[in-house]
Amino acid sequence: MDTGSGSSGWVLVCVMIFLLVVQASAVGIAELVKYGTRSAKAFCDIEQGLYVEPSPASGLDSRHLTLGAPEGWSHRYFMTSIELRRSRCIDDNIEIKSAYWKVCLSCEPHREIQNAWLWGCSTYIIVLVDDSESMNWSSGAGYDPGITYLKRPTGEVVKTSCGFDVQDFVKVGPLLYFKGEYGNSHFPAPLSSYFMGAMPRWTLAFGYLTGIVEGLDMVKVAVATTSRGIIQPFTSDMRQVEAAIDSIHPHAVSSPLAHSLFSLKAEFKDKCVQNRYVLLVTDGDELKDGDVPDDIKDFDMDSDPMDKYVEGLGSRCLDDVASYLKSMDVRVFVKGACPDETFLREVARKGGGIYSPARQDLVPECVFISQMPVIYGAEELELTNCHGVFSPKWLSTDGAMSYELEGEKPIIAKKSDTGFSGVVVDTCVDGATLYCSTSRDYLLSMDLESKALKWMIHGLGGKIRALNDTIVVGPGKDGFVYVINSDLKVLWKANCALALLTPGCVYTVNGADIEKRDMNTGEIYSLFSAGMDFSSIDYDPFYGFVIAGTSSGDFYVFDAELGLHYIINTYSDSPAQDAGVFTWRKKPYFVLATDMGLSVNTTDSLLWYHPFDGCSYTGAVVMDSRIYLGTWKRSDTCQGIDAGKSFLDILDAFTGDKLEREVLFQGMAFGPVIDLASSQVYYVNWKGDRVSKDISGLRGIHYSTLGKCLKRG
């Protein structure tokens, strides 16, 4: 074919190219017009939603609106602040309307921290209980006339709270309840050679033990008796300790105090333990005792003739064994169950301990943080613990009301005791109220304006969620989640592993079942059952998604009615921990954490996966399309939030590329604490040390313009 410049074929090609250019230009212009129209409409919508006629004297006026999180920011933690500014140029009679946006904070990220154990303050206590029959003899004291006591079928008498009125005595099956005044006349303990009085020694000992154990935290406790040895191995679960003490029946015919104490030396096997204590509870009457090595029998070198072993009777070398244990870095504390305290006080002194120790004598002082600080206004409040109890210096406890959870159909009843125990496990801020739960199942309510404790409830613990004066807390140590209102009325409870509070309803998780419940009644509206157990549940406020993760690392994405929208696989084959969402170009991106790693997924594909390489996940926040990922490499030897190392990785949200990596602290890091006013985020450790990161360069930290509108006249 002739292809000369004057040929008809060449002209046709030129015409086609020209038409394509014109078409492309038309499409581009149309898109610009479409974008401009949308922008103008958005600006108009914002203006109509915000505009309020200012006063005539005002030359400048501004109005605010809060919307969902900006694109590239975590929906859970952030929102968008829109500001419309209106001014008037008087000379030219022109009204100027401008719209601006920046990111604002919805809530601080935080995670529930159970087992806030400090290696540097680690304390193991063996409670050695004298269970000989002499513990049922008279203590020399009478029963308290106003107290109710329980005589068990096995013969022991203990203080009790029976929940019903007792005038003199009431028998309920094999259980006998009686008032102290009645017991002084009708139920006296056997008299000993030295003392009179109706109350048995065991009643004093048992009351002391239960009171001490109730207040212990940050320690591991084992229980032993003089006749049976260890009956409860070391545990931090004080319910197991209480059950072991409750199972002791003092009926043994011998009382080998020194021998039993000496044998406990071998029970302290953990080399990481810093403090090793024995708490001996006894009446001091040794019988058939003293079977210890010869070099121990007069270890204190006091030349006591009773240190010599006599066949059939034994010896009294308890003070020598205590002195020996002190030399082996084991301190011996003693609680006597009879008025003759002279010898037992000497045992405690030689053992390096204290006679009749209080709770704070057994728990190291150890001032530390187990949750991230709370920012309220311009103030930062540290949530410090001391002696295993939540005790920040800024908190006033004067006048606080004290309550107890009581009954099978629970009510919250007032109690006279105003103390509480345990370190901070979880926190939640609702307006000007800070809620904290402790490791010993106390729920505390504090007013952030006055920094005063308003009330405490014993029996409620675990994770806290609060919204408009409705509080969901749990599961605590009893395995139940409770929903209470601002009048401190229990609305309902559920035996479940997880709970989620959203506007208008509560979701509960029990194994493979998720239930949507009425917030006020607990009535089940809808139910979803999966093929495996769920290990996490989260809520996305932007899309209204309920996101539940399974023990195999799959994430189920539901609507509010538990209608299943997506199943997202992270391919990690490990339990789900956390789920968050951010938006980019109107498309949801899921940030999903399991025990093994972090992934970012769309609704239909895995974008990337970041393994934790043996670290534990501590939290992730998306800011300006960057993921701030916290992890903690636990120590291979000694455990505790003060051991190991914590890391901060900043990852590209779309590719997973590592933009920065930083070692934060020795031990676990809490955070990030997000302070938008100072354009910083920071992490804190158990000592309160902090590492800050500047975020002033992120898009959205400072106001950016959305557009302007000029109007003449």
What DSSP line would sit under 305-342, residue for residue? GGGS-BTTTB---HHHHHHHHHHTT-EEEEEESSS--H
The region of weakest confidence among 141-145, 242-246, 537-541 is: 141-145
Band (pLDDT 50/70/90 cuts) for residue 470 is very high
Looking at residue 314, its pLDDT comes to: 60
Band (pLDDT 50/70/90 cuts) for residue 210 is very high
- Per the CB < 8 A criterion, the answer to whether 536 and 576 are in contact is yes
Instruction: Please state, in angstroms and rounded to a whole number, the distance separating the CA atoms of residues 540 and 74.
Output: 9
Q: How far apart are the first and last CA of the chain?
A: 68
The DSSP H or E segment spanning 494 is: strand 490-495
Instruction: Please state, in angstroms and rounded to a whole number, the distance separating the CA atoms of residues 467 and 156.
Output: 47
Rg (CA), the chain: 34
Residue that wins the pLDDT comparison between 578 and 342: 578
- 86-126, pLDDT tens digit by residue? 776 655 667 788 889 999 999 998 888 877 888 889 999 99
561 Cβ neighbours under 8 A, 6+ residues apart: 516, 525, 526
Contacts by 351-357 with C-beta closer than 8 Å and gap 24+?
A: 351/278, 351/319, 351/322, 351/323, 351/325, 351/326, 352/326, 353/277, 353/278, 353/322, 356/208, 357/212, 357/279, 357/333
DSSP character at residue 135:
G
Query: For the chain, which residues make up each domain, given as ranges?
Result: 1-50, 119-137+200-362
Classify residue 174 by burial, with Cβ atoms within 10 Å: 0-12, 13-18, 19+.
exposed
Instruction: Please state, in angstroms and rounded to a whole number, the distance separating the CA atoms of residues 300 and 348.
Output: 13
Looking at residue 47, its pLDDT comes to: 46
- Per the CB < 8 A criterion, the answer to whether 676 and 682 are in contact is no
Tokens matching residue 241: 């300790």
Give yes or no for residue 46 having a pLDDT over 50: no
φ/ψ (deg, to 5) at 426? -145, 160
Domain 119-137+200-362 has CATH 3.90.1720.10: no
Give the CA angle between residues 175, 179, 185 to the nearest 5°: 100
Per the prediction, the chain carries an average pLDDT of: 87
Band (pLDDT 50/70/90 cuts) for residue 57 is very low
The DSSP H or E segment spanning 297 is: helix 294-297
Tokens matching residue 648: 């901060």
Give yes or no for residue 40 having a pLDDT over 90: no
- 388-437, pLDDT tens digit by residue? 999 999 999 999 999 999 877 788 888 767 788 899 999 999 999 999 99
- Per the CB < 8 A criterion, the answer to whether 312 and 159 are in contact is no
- Per the CB < 8 A criterion, the answer to whether 334 and 355 are in contact is yes
Looking at residue 19, its pLDDT comes to: 73
Residue that wins the pLDDT comparison between 639 and 329: 329
Give yes or no for residue 710 having a pLDDT over 50: yes
What DSSP line would sit under 565-593, residue for residue? EEEEE-S--S-EEEEEEEEETTEEEEEEE
DSSP character at residue 191:
P
Instruction: Please state, in angstroms and rounded to a whole number, the distance separating the CA atoms of residues 197 and 191.
Output: 8
- 375-389, pLDDT tens digit by residue? 898 889 999 999 999
What DSSP line would sit under 200-219, residue for residue? BHHHHHHHHHHHHHHH--SS
3-class DSSP state of 259: helix
Looking at residue 414, its pLDDT comes to: 81
- 158-188, pLDDT tens digit by residue? 998 766 678 888 888 899 999 988 989 888 9
Residue that wins the pLDDT comparison between 503 and 191: 503
Segment 1-20 mean pLDDT:
65
- Per the CB < 8 A criterion, the answer to whether 262 and 291 are in contact is no
Give yes or no for residue 297 having a pLDDT over 90: no
- 131-163, pLDDT tens digit by residue? 999 999 988 889 998 889 999 999 999 998 766
Give yes or no for residue 503 having a pLDDT over 70: yes
The region of weakest confidence among 27-31, 64-68, 532-536 is: 27-31
Where in 432-469 does DSSP place strands (E)?
Answer: 433-438, 442-447, 452-458, 464-467
Torsion from C-alpha of 82, 84, 85, 91, nearest 10 degrees: 150
Looking at residue 3, its pLDDT comes to: 47
